[in-house]
Amino acid sequence: MCVFGFLFFIFGFSMINIKKFTKVGIIGYGAYLPYWRIKVEEIARNWGKSGEKIKKSLGVEQKAIAAKDEDCITMAVEAGQIAFKKAGINPKKIGAVFIGSESHPYSVKPSGTIIGDILRIDREYFCADLQFACKAGTAGLQIVAAMIESGMIDYGLVIGSDKAQARPGDALEYTAGAGSAAFILGKDTGVKLMATYSISSDTPDFWRRQGCDFPSHVGRFTGEPGYFYHLETGIKNFLKKINKKPKDFDYVVFHMPNAKFPLRLAKKLGFGFSQLERGFLVPKIGNPYSASSLLGLISVLDQAKANKDILLASYGSGAGSDVFWLKTRKTLKDKQNNAKKL
């Protein structure tokens, strides 16, 4: 009896953490990138280092940087406005607003309510600011999708937005970028959410203590126990549960802390560069933390045709990964041309 109970715990629990959706998807999406860029060589020159060597090591040429009057809220509003144009719905229909970020301008005061007021969303909505390093935005997708599936709301707004922080002179300074990605979820979809899965652990690879201006990390040793373990294990588990193989997907989007990590991960898992290429933005914009994988997804959605399968996998330090299977519909074509593309 004890043995049976243990086996049930092991195998039964492994099936709990996957959700197959039946009636929810993306009806609108929008991206915002700041105008300014800075090249890796310019940052390196200021610290007396070899820009060419660092650029080759990271695979990143430049990063997007926010202007003085921009933060995660202003960028979220920009992305949200585009998402509403593509969705073509009245903002007052939104029943939930969730924004994921590592750079909320207030420690105590929500970003979501400011965004809600500026976008003229009716005040009767669920709202919370989310924080889980670079996967806070995808956590919001899971929350809002579940609320729609349960019948609690009809539409919800999810945003991943960051003005990424890095200590001057730190390795992160070369990649920490800025940007925002917004999604409106509902039942009338241009992109159907098919299933999602998460994996989480207490892995202190990256953190920022209360009152500190910049994050800390354990350098290059964080890759294996953090990024690679969670994404490789999470994606393998997910594919097994949905009975899919890497070749079954037309596009794949990973979190992109630099260019080398996602390329290495794709090779380990059996994905080709042709599947990764469309959403592979990091060489040109750096790593905008919570917006990284979501901006990659938007780059794919801007040009994808109907009936294409997309695998999206975020990563958040501390640590965890959210994995999604999405499928495009014929109606996506109308959304693509409704407003500004990435």
Pairing of strands 25-32, 178-186: antiparallel
Catalytic residue among 104, 217, 230, 255: 255
Residue 102 falls in the annotated catalytic set: yes
Q: Which residues pair with 196 in a beta bridge?
A: 19, 324
Q: Are 311 and 58 in contact (CB under 8 A)?
A: no
Q: How many CA atoms does the CB half-sphere of 208 hold within 13 Å?
A: 17
Q: Rounded CA gap, 172 and 102, in Å?
A: 14
Catalytic residue among 102, 104, 127, 230: 102
Residue 217 falls in the annotated catalytic set: no
Write the burial class of residue 85 (CB in 10 Å: 0-12 exposed, 13-18 middle, 19+ buried). middle
Catalytic residue among 127, 134, 217, 230: 134
Pairing of strands 126-130, 94-100: parallel
Q: Are 272 and 210 in contact (CB under 8 A)?
A: no
Residue 255 falls in the annotated catalytic set: yes
Q: How many CA atoms does the CB half-sphere of 191 hold within 13 Å?
A: 30
> Furthest-apart CA pair in the chain: how many Å?
67
Report in angstroms the alpha-carbon separations of 120 from 77, 147, 268. 11, 21, 45
Three-class SS of residue 128? strand
**CA-wise closest residue to 258 among 40, 42, 51:** 40
Residues carrying an active site annotation = 102, 134, 255
